[in-house]
Structure 1
C-alpha cells in the first residue's frame, strides 16, 4: 500500500473501491419515487461519494396532473437543505418539467441569475412544500431521466487540478465532458444541457473545482455509472500519486496524550477569543489524515489557497488559521500568549478580503473569525454555533485535505478564486436563507458540566439544559448508569449535544481529567451544575470519623475541586459563566441525626458565597439551589438514607414522602424537575443580575428561610 493509499479514504475499508450495494430484488418492489430515494440513500451513506448535506439526485417521472388528469413529466430533485444519506421522500422537490422549460424564455442573462430562483415555486407540482434548491436547473435541463451530482474527494482532486480539463480527457476518455468553474444557477444549467446534447456518448460532465454530474436511463444505471466514475478517478490517483504528500513531513505528530493535553488547553482559550458576538462550540480531530497535513512542509502554502469545492468553502470559510505552535520545541504558554495576535491577524485579513471583494449590494460583513484552526503536530480544531456544525466543518476540511493531496500529487492544486469565493459566501440567496433560520434557544452555544448527572436531580437538570439548547457533559462516578443515561439523551437530543465522563469529585486528578474531556468534546465550559452528592444519618455519638470525612470529602471538598476547575476554564475563556451548587434545606435548617451531612452542606453554601465574590469581576455568577425531600428519582434515597430518615422521625419509609409534604408550608411534594427549573433560571439570562443567592425549592420551610 502506498503512502497515498493509506490516507486517501475517509471510510475505513479493506479496499477503497466503492461496491455496488444495489439490491435488485428490493428495488423491484419500489415505486419510481421510492427508487430515487433508494438510490439517493445508497449514495449518501458513504462519505467517499459525497459529504454530509452535499450532492443532489433527480429523476424525471411521469405523474397524473391533479388538475387535468393528463400524464405530465415531473422533476423530482433533492430539495434545499437535505442530506442524501438520511432524507425521506418528503426531502424532494417536485416541479413540472414543462414549466421549468418555459423559464428559459424569462431568463435575462447572468446578471439576473438570482431572479430565476423566484420563479421556481411557480413550477411546483402537487403543492409540494419542499423548497427547490439552486441546483434545480442543473438537473432539469440535462436530457436524461436520472441524474446524480456528487462531490467525491477523488473526483474533486481532478476537478481542482490546474490541468483539470486535460486530466479529465486523459482519465475518462470521451465518457466525461468538462466545464470550467461557474457558480450554480440557471446559466450553468443551460451549459450542462448544451454539452450533454452535443455529445450523446457522454455519461457525465466534470465541473472544474466543483464535482461531477452523471446520468443514466434507469435509476440503477445512473447509480452504477456514478460509482464507476468515482472508482475510475480513485484508481487513476492511486496509480499516479506515489510520492510523499504535501511536500513530505516537516515534523512528527506528538504523542496522543500530549495532543489531547495541548488541545484541551487551546480550545477554551480560542473559544473565548472568538465568542464575543456569539458563543461557539468546538470539535477536535487528530485523525491520520489531519496529522499528516498539519505536520507537512507545504501545509501553510496549501492552507492559504483555501478550498475549491463550494460545499467545502461554505462550511470552512475562506481559509484556516494555522496556530503558532512548534511541536519540535513545544511551548504551550508561549502559544497561548500568541493567540491574541494570531486571531487579530486573521480578522484583519478577513476584513481586507471583504473590502476587496464586496459588491454594492453585499450583506454586511459577518463573523470575521476562522472556523478551522490547524495546530502543527496536534491536529485540527473547528468552531461553530453548535457541535454538529463544528464537527461537519471539520469533516469538510478533511475532504479538502484529501482533494489537495490528490490534486497536488497528480498536478497542481488550485483553490477557489477569491472573488468567486466571496460571491458564494455573501450570495444574497444564501443571506436570505440565513435570515430565515429560526431564532436560537437561550442556551444555544453554551456548554454545561453537570456532576451527579446520572442521578434524579442530575438527569432532570440535564434534560432541562438540553431542552434549552445547551451542549452538556454528564459527570458521574457510576459508569454503568452514566453510559445508559448518556445513550438515552443522545437518542433524544442527538449525539452531538451530550457526552459523558466518569468523575470522582473527591479525586483532584479525576476532576481535572473531566474538565479536559469537556474541553476536547465541546471546547470549554460556561455552566457548572455541581450536584454530586451522598447522604448519611447517625446520632453524633455514632458518627464515625470515616463517615464525617466522607461527607466533607464529597459535599465540600468535591464542590471545591469542581468549582475551582470550572473557575479556571471560565477565566481562560474570559466570557463569564454561571455556577450553580445544589445545596439542601439542611444547610440552613439543622436536622436530627445528620450532623455530618448538615455541616458539609452548610460549608458548601458558604463556599458558593466565597466563589461569588471572586467570580463577580470576571462575570462568573455563583448561586445555590436548596432542595428538600426530593424522594422520587433521587439516588440518595435508594440507599440507607431513606430508612435512616424514616427512623429519625419514627415513621415507616412509605409514610416519609407524605410527612415531608405535610411539613411544608405549601403542602406539596418536590420533584427533580422542580430543582431543574430553578437551575435553568440561574443558567440563563433571566438571572443575569443574580449572584451569591440561594433559591429554596422545598415547598416552604420556615426554618430554612434565608432572611
Structure 2
C-alpha cells in the first residue's frame, strides 16, 4: 500500500472510531500524493478520497476513490455553473486512475480543489452546533479567531468545493472552516497535521459550549414528562411498539430500534422539545436518515397505553398530511416521486425513541443520527438559538436526483427483508438452522432458548445484534413467554414470524411413561406452542401487518410408532393447533402452517440428550447409525438434516406460497405411513 494511502486509512479509522468526531458513515477524508503511471512510467499526482457510502471508522483501501488530480482540477474550466453542478459528479468518472476504486462522492470536489495535501470533512456534534446557531458566523470568530472561517450554507457539490478552495486561499492562516448548517472541514500538509486540526476544531467547540452554555438549553422541565423508571418505560415501550411499527410501516414495512438514552429522555422532559423537534434536523447526513422531523407524542409520561395509542393514531394522520404538504410545496415536475409519508423517528416522553429503517442497521443508525441532532440542538440553544437550514434546502437534498440515483443503485431486497422472526429452541439443531436460513434471506431473528448463553452464542455466530439476538425463554412459563416477546419487540421494533420449534422427548413405552413425563412433554410442546402463539398473535393483530406462525411438528403427529406415547400425542396436539389457528387468525392475514419432519439426528439437542440412544435401542441398532437407519426406511433413502427443515420453513414464508395456510409440509424423505390423508 502506498504510504500516503496507509496514512489516510489510519487517520480515517482513528477519526471515525470516535462518535464525537463524526456520525456513522458520515464525512470523508482525502490525501494527495504521487504514483508512477503504469502506462507512461512518469510520476502522476493523485487524489485518494473516501468514496460514496462506507464508514470512516472501518474504511479500507477498497472504499477509496482514486482520481488523477490534474484532470479533476481541470474540471473547473468546464464547470457549467451551480444550476447544472450535478453534472460534475458524472464527470468525475473521466478523472479516475486505473479502476478508480469506490464510486466518487458528491464531496470529491471539496477535497480535490482545496490546495492542501490532506483534507477532512466531518460532522461532529460540537461543530454542527456552531454551524446551526443563529449567530454562527459571530460565534465562529469568537471561538476560533482567524484559525477557522465561516462558510455560508451551500448544498454539497462542485460549487461548495470552489467556495472552500477560495476561502483557504484568501485566509492562509486558517486551518479549516465551519460549514453553515452542515459540519466542519479542516486541512493540513501532513496527515497528522490534518487530524490534529480537525480535533482542535471539534474539541475547542465542545469546550466552549460546555463553558458558556445556558444551564437549561431545552428550557425548564415539564411536569409529568420526566423519564419513567427503567422497568416501567421498557414495559410501556413494548406495549406501544406494535402500534408504533404499524405507523412507521403504513407505506412499507420497516424494522425498528428502541433507545432510552439519557439524552433523549432529557430532551423530551423539557419545555422546548416540541418547538425544536418541529424545526427538524439540519445536517444532510441527519435528515436523510431521520426525515425532516420526527413524530412526537404530546402526552405526559404517565399517560395510559390506551390513550397513547389513540393519540399516536391521530398524530400519524397529521404527520402524513404534513409530509405530503411539504412534498407538494417544493416538488417540481422533475422531482422523484414521494418515497413515503411515515415517520422514521417516533419520540415518546418518559419512554424514549423509536427509529425505523429498511433493516436493523439502518434503523439503529437513524436513531444514532437523531441523538446527534439532539446534541446539536442542545449546543446551539445553549449558546444562541437553533437555526437549521431552510425547509426548501432540505427538500432539495432529500429529493435530489443524485440521492435518488444512489437509492436506485442499491441491491434488490432479499425475500424476507423487513421481517422479524422469533424462533424457539433455536440455539441448536433445527431451530438454529431455521434462524440461519431466515437471516440469509433478509429477516432478523430473536433466538429464544432455555439456555441463554447458547442462544447468545448462536446469535453472535449468525451475525450479531443487527441480525440476531439471543434471549432466554421457558416456553412452558406464560410470564417468560410474554417477556421473550417483549424482548423481541424491543430488539427489532416488531414481530412478523413465529416458529414454534422448542421441544424435547423421552422414549418410553406406555407402561414406563409417568405422569411427570407426560406433563413435561406436553408443557413444552403443546402448552408452550399455545402460549407462544397466543402472545405473538396479540402483537401481530395490533400491528395490522399480517404475519406467519409455523409449527415444527413431526411425522409422529400422524405416524404411530412404539415407545413414544407422550411425544407423539403432544405432536398431534401441535398439528391440530395449526388447523385451529389458521381458521381463527386468517381474518387478520396471519397464516399458520406446520412442518412434519422425520427424525433429525444431526445437531439435535433432543437426540443428544438420550432420545437418540433410546430410539436406537428400540430399533436394535447402534446410536451412531440412527441417521442412516432413518434414511433407509424412507422412500427416497435420504437422511433428513436441519437445513432441510429450514428450507421448508423458508418456502412457507417466501412469496410463492402467500395464499397458503393450514398446511402441513412433510420433510421426511418419504414415509408412506405418515402420508397426509
Tell me the TM-score normalized by structure 2: 0.98
Q: Is the 8 A contact 1:278 1:385 kept in 2?
A: no
Secondary structure at 1:397 match in 2: helix
Query: Are 2:518 and 1:544 aligned?
Result: no
Does residue 287 of the first structure (1) align with residue 261 of the second (2)?
Answer: yes
Return the alpha-carbon distance in structure 2 between the equivalents of residues 528 and 326 of structure 1: 34
1:101-121 Cα shifts (integer Å, max 9, x gaps) = 211111121111111111100
Q: 1:281·1:390 contact (CA, 8 Å) conserved in 2? A: yes
Equivalents in 1 of 2:54, 2:311: separation in Å? 40
- Give the counterpart of 1:665 among 627, 635, 647: 635
Q: Choose the corresponding residue for 2:384, options 399, 405, 411.
A: 411
Aligned residue runs from structure 1 range 641-660, under 5 A: 641-660=611-630
Residue of structure 1 in register with 2:331 after alignment: 358
Give how far 1:178 is off: 1.1
User: 2:503–2:525: 8 Å Cα contact kept in structure 1?
Assistant: yes
Per-residue deviation, 1:528: 0.7
1:578–1:620 CA contact under 8 A, matched in 2: yes
Give the structure 2 partner of residue 500 of structure 1: 470
Specify the alignment match of 1:168 in structure 2.
Answer: 140
State the shift of 1:42 in Å: 0.6
Which residue of 2 is the match for residue 436 of structure 1? Answer: 409
Deviation at residue 152 of structure 1 after TM alignment: 0.7
Q: 1:11 maps to what in 2?
A: none
Report the equivalent of 1:267: 241
Is contact 1:151-1:210 (8 Å) kept? yes
- Residue 339 of structure 1 corresponds to which residue in structure 2? 312
Which residue does the alignment assign to 2:96?
124
Task: For structure 1, list consecutive stretches of 5 or more residues without a partner in the other structure.
Answer: 1-28
The answer to whether the 8 A contact 1:325-1:332 is kept is no
DSSP 3-state at the match of 2:187:
strand
Aligned to 2:14: 42
Deviation of 1:95 (Å): 0.9
- Name the structure 2 match of 1:208: 180
- Count of residue correspondences: 675
- 1:305 deviates by 0.6
| Structure 1 residue 618 corresponds to structure 2 residue 571 | no
Q: Secondary structure at the match of 1:41?
A: helix
Per-residue displacement from partner, 1:657-690 (whole Å, max 9, x unpaired)? 3321221111111111111111111112221111
Q: In the alignment, does 2:214 pair up with 1:231?
A: no
Measure, in 1, the Cα distance between the counterparts of 2:45 and 2:308. 61
- Tell me the residue number matched to 1:457: 430
Q: What is the rounded CA distance, in whole Å, between the counterparts of 1:569 and 1:427 in structure 2?
A: 37
Q: Deviation at 1:30?
A: 7.5
Q: Aligned partners of 2:319, 2:609: CA distance in 1, in Å?
A: 56
CA-CA distance at 1:644 after TM superposition = 1.5
The alignment status of 1:587 with 2:557, answered yes or no, reads yes
Structure 1 residue 448 and structure 2 residue 421: aligned? yes
> What secondary structure, in the 3-state scheme, does the structure 2 residue paired with 1:118 have?
helix
* Aligned twin of 1:391: 364
CA distance in structure 2 between the partners assigned to 1:276 and 1:235 by the alignment = 43
Q: Report the equivalent of 1:111.
A: 83
Distance 2:354 2:376 in 1: 19
The 8 Å contact of residues 452 and 470 in structure 2, kept in 1 or not, is answered as no
Of 154, 173, 178, which aligns to 1:182? Answer: 154
Contact in 2 for aligned 1:60/1:145 (Cα 8 Å): yes
Which one of 264, 267, 273 corresponds to residue 299 of structure 1?
273
CA distance in 2 between partners of 1:343 and 1:510 (Å): 33
Task: Tell me how far 1:359 sits from its aligned partner.
Answer: 2.1
Greater shift, 331-340 or 343-352, is seen at: 331-340
Aligned residue number for residue 63 of structure 1: 35
Match of 2:454 in 1: 481
CA distance in 2, matches of 1:668, 1:210: 62
- What's 1:77 paired with? 49
CA shift, 1:654, in A, is 3.1
Match of 1:320 among 294, 309, 326: 294
CA displacement at 1:537 relative to structure 2: 1.6
Match of 2:567 among 593, 597, 600: 597
TM-score (norm 1): 0.94
Q: What SS does structure 2 have at the residue aligned with 1:368?
A: coil
Matched-pair contact (CA < 8 Å) for 2:64–2:101? no
| Aligned residue in 2 for 1:257 | 231
